[in-house]
Every structure is written in structure tokens, then in C-alpha cells.
A and B are shown apart, each in its own frame.
Chain A
Amino acid sequence: MTIAEKQEEIISEFEFLDDWLDKYQQIIDKGMSNPGIDPQYKTDEYLIEGCQSKVWVYAEYKDGLVYYQGESNTDIAGGIVAMLVEVMSGHTPDEILETDLYFIDKIGLKEHLSPTRSNGMLAMVKQMRMYALAFKSKRCED
């Protein structure tokens, strides 16, 4: 599946949820089914700055594709990072860097999260893109 297709899938999951509590439930459930991060990466080194909750993201580069792992100490942030991992994982650095993450706006996440959570989510996206950028530069050097 392309990044766009994955985004469409998430949008369709949220589409029929009118009540924001139901949307939150969906986010929480996303976090619950997320395998999380390998405990060895649950360290300050992989902690994302700018989140009120603690969020760890680790990425590795295999056969030209970036694979992310993410986890949070809170369930809502955990659900958000799970969705970002789901959408962005398994793609080339170029795909990740070129993609517009429109599902965030489309499901109304940005406007319905508190400003601190919304900023935290942007910090997650930024960090995940940084990984892609780093792998891309590394590939160029190789």
C-alpha cells in the first residue's frame, strides 16, 4: 500500500465517527494494537522533545525502506504515534519526505487535540521525517 492509500484507510475508519469521544476511542484502540517499541530503544536518546507525554520513536533502514517503531506513556499520544508509524513505515526516504500527511487534517486531529498535544504530534512528524532525511543523506554518501 502507498502512503496515500494508508491515509485513505485511516480517514475511512474515522469517517463515520461523529462524536469526538468515539474518535478518541479509535485513537486509543490504534495505540492498543500497536506493537510498540523495542525496549532497548525506550531511552532518552529516542525521546521526542516537544511532547507533553513521553513519546519514543526509533527508525531503521533496511533494503532502501524506513521502518519505524513508536510508543508513548499515554494512550492518546500512543494512538497518534501508532497511526504515524502505520502510515510512514515501510517506505523509501523520498516517499516519506515528499508525502503530505493530509489524514491529520482530514480526520480533524489537529483542531480537536489540545494545543500541547497538537504541537507534540507535529514534533513526532518532524522527528520521523528527520530520520528519513538522515537515511537519505546516508544513502547518497554510500
Chain B
Amino acid sequence: MASEYILEMNHITKVYGSNAVLKDVSLKIRPGEIHALLGENGAGKSTLMNVLFGMPVIHSTGGFEGEVIFDGQKVNIASPMDAMSKGIGMVHQEFMLIPGFSVTDNIKLNREITKAWPISRLLGKDLEFLDTDSMARDARKALDDVGMSVEEYTMVSGLPIGHMQFIEIAREIDKTGMKLLVFDEPTAVLTESEAQQLLGVMKSIAEKGIAIIFITHRLDEVMTAADSVTILRDGQLVSSFDKAETSPEKLAALMIGRGSDGVIQVEKRQEEVTGSIAMSIRDLWVNMPGEVDKGITLDVREGEILGIGGLAGQGKIGIPNGIMGLYEAAGDVEFFGQKLPLGNADAVLRAGLAMVSEDRRGVGLLLDQSIENNIAFTAMQVKGDFMKGFLHQKDTRAIRRYAEKMIKELDIRCTSPAQPVGTLSGGNQQKVCVARALALNPKFLFVSEPTRGIDIGAKQLVLETLVRLNREQGMTIVMVSSELQELRSICDRIAIVAEGKVVDILKVDASDTAFGLAMSGVKSKEGEEA
């Protein structure tokens, strides 16, 4: 039965626990089409692809609702192997290549061409020799198809990253019967020219009738390469249309959206903050794996709440981590006119900065220790608080008193201050992290992804606390978050980081289009002079 579409995913719904990550999403792809899949982090793109590939994580959490029709047949894809045998391929974001093997070996891995010899006739196919000549021929052809001039017998280990991406693609197109290829942010690690080359390769693949799902953040690439576009937001299908009907601005606006459900409501500040510069960051480079910054320049005014937004992996989280001395950093950071030593957490903390880390369980807490010990720890170490006596012992009573006060103030739900934080819920753990930062009485607070993985009530409380601290104590707060809505609800200004640089600094009421463009690295007219 011939069909107009090579792949139809109809009314897909996927629930993790009580949290719906995909709600009635449909996706239709024609043969030979490049279909861009757009959406912010957490919009449901990865989950949708996991469903398509029958990843174990889907099956082990209760499967999904909806149907998948591939090549006109209703299919039930049980595993990634199954997907592969049906002709669905994936070009991974992280390279799945074996460094010590040659290009040919990698392309032909597990699909080796073999020839028989007497012993293998006796003892089975596993003992057959490799037919290196035909393997090399196939590999050469695939490499030529992706426009790679690299020799097929080179080792992968020494190749530049861009080349690895192409080998990955060559491997996929070398598979016979390939009908649908998924590219998961293939240009993220490529240089401009390599990206252009890749888009060309994608087009030539599509011309052979192979459909492509192209997942990316770069709107210009979508405009160049894609034939049609599907946009997801918060697990829902926003829109699906041909490229001809759209523009980057429209895409950006749709990606960001301005929904009102689930948004935290906090009283807005009326007047603009015009305090002096509390922190001035000049050309900050941070080497945080996955969140590299390449020359951040940013000013934070005293008494404001500055938001830092941007997509995951673009470097926004690197900023607080670099300044607080958790990762290697270089550049000039002045704090109230004093130069901050980078890479020295102790000195930075003493200067009056504090941070609530995005990695709550890894960096933020001592999971096996009690709430009170967690709250008091940093203040004890940095400022020598909560100590007493001739032998300089910890003052359990003072710690208990302070912890009880914080538990009341931040509404931490626990049985007692002695409960280990590992047994608390995510939201309450986050409150403990905030309490620990507050125990330092900081002038300046970095809050990194404060609402990640916590429920809506706790979110509201955490954000309210931040606003209260800012209004009542005049604490300067820099909040890094992937959730733009959240930033827009409490911040005074929002800096958007893309590819390790501040692209734009926007007012909270700037248009969705401006934010969307900034996230894909394009400065709009609405931005400040940075």
C-alpha cells in the first residue's frame, strides 16, 4: 500500500509518572523531505524520537499512547535494533565511533562484509574472514556521498570533530534500505563551513528519497535546508507547516510562546533599577564541559534581578560556575570595583557572593547529612559562624536554632532539622540549598536553575523567596534558568546566551520573537546596547 507519508506518528502521548511530556503530538513526514523539528529544551523532541526508536526507557516506563505508521504499515517498534532493521537511522549528537578503529571499520561496524573459508564453513559464519576490499569500497562510496575526502583507512582517533560527524552520517547512509534518518543537532559542533557542507549532504541524501528529521536550534539552518517544520512546546504540538509559509521571526515566536498556564505570578517592580554596577564581567571564558563560555561580557546592577537565559549547552550555566570558582575560568570580573580572583571559591565566597547550584544533588548538598548541617556548612567554613568554645567545636544549638528559623521561613517540609537531606523531595532540597546560601548573608546571589525538577508549588515559593530577598534586603540576584517564562516573571532584565556569548540583553516584556532569535544567536533590534 503506497502512502503519501513515509512516517506518520499520530496522537502520541507519553507520561512519565504523573508528568505528561508528550500530549497528543502528531508528526507526518514525506519521503525525500527534510523535516525540521523545533522546540526549546524539554519541549519533547527527544522523547518523541525515543518513541520512534523504541528506546528501552519508553517501554520500561509504561509505553506510550498513539500509533506509529511507517512506510504505510502500522508498526510497533520494540527496540533500536528493530528500528534500524526497518530502515530508520540516527545520527547521534554524541559520536558513537570507536576511536581506535579505522574509518572503514567504523562505518561497517557490525555489518561487516565477510567471505567464507573452509573452517568457517565447518564452524559457522562467525569465523569468516573480513572482505576488506569490498568493505573499503563501500566505505569510500559512502564517504564520497557525504563529500569527505578523508582516506577510508585512517584511524578515527586523530580526526577533527567535524569529520567524525560526517563519518557518523556516512555510516548511516551506507546502510541499505535506509528510509528515514534522524539528525540530532548535527551542526552543534561544526564550524560554519562544515555546517554548510552538512546541509548540502543532507539535501543530497534527501534527493535520493530518504526522509530526514532535522532537530536543531539554528533557525537560519532551518530556513536554508528544511522543507517543512514542526514545532513542539511543552510536549504539545504547536504548529506544523511548510517552510515557504514561515519566517525566522515567526518560528522564534512560536517556539517561545507566551502561555499563561503554569507561570509563576510575582508582583512586578514598577520602576527600573538604576543602581551602580555591582558586578562587571569582561571577556569571561569558562571551561565547563557542555557549557563552555567564550567571552562573556555583562554588567549586573546593584539591587536588580538579572536573568540569564538561553538553550541548554550554550554556556549560560558556565557563568555562575566559572565566577564561583568551580570550573577553570579566565577573564576579568569586578565585584563592586574589586577584582575577583577566578578559580578561588573561598575568596569569592568571602567577598560576599553565594550561589545556589544547578546540580543540587551533586554540588548543592551533602545528601547523607542532616538539613541543619547542610545549612550551616558553608557559613561555618567561610565565615567561622556556628562555632563555639575553647576547642572550637560546632555549636549544635546555634545551628539548630538557625535551621529551625530557615525551615519556618522557607517552609521546608521535613520531620526535623536532623533529617538527612537525601530523603527530602526535590523542592525541599532546593530550599535547603537556598537556606545554605542565605546563611552566608551574601550581598550577591547566583541562582542557577533553581526550579529544575521541582513541582509548581515549590517553584512559586522559591521564586517568591528570591523576590523577597531582593526587595527587602536589596540583594542582587543573578538567576540562570532554561525556563524563559520563569525568568520573565521575576527578572528585571534578561541576558540571552548562545554559543558561549551574550547575544542580547532584553527587557522582560520584549517580544517572543526577540527572545527566540536571541536564543538562536541572532541579536534583534529590541535589545540593549551590550
A binds B: no
